[in-house]
């Protein structure tokens, strides 16, 4: 499993949540 990919996914998810909030 790629740790980098997970980090990017988490960052994108956080940004999306922030925008939706």
Tokens of 16: 């999306």
Q: What is the pTM of this model?
A: 0.33
The residue written with tokens 């996914």 in the block is 9
So what's the pLDDT on residue 10? 85
Helix (H, G, I), strand (E, B) or coil at 11: helix
Query: Could you give the CA distance from residue 4 to residue 15 in angstroms, rounded to a whole number?
Result: 17
CA-based angle 9:15:18, to the nearest 5?
A: 140
So what's the pLDDT on residue 2? 62
1-21 confidence digits (pLDDT tens): 566 788 888 888 888 788 877
């Amino acid at each position: 499993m790629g740790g980098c990919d997970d980090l990017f996914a988490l960052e994108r998810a956080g940004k999306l949540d922030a925008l939706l909030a």
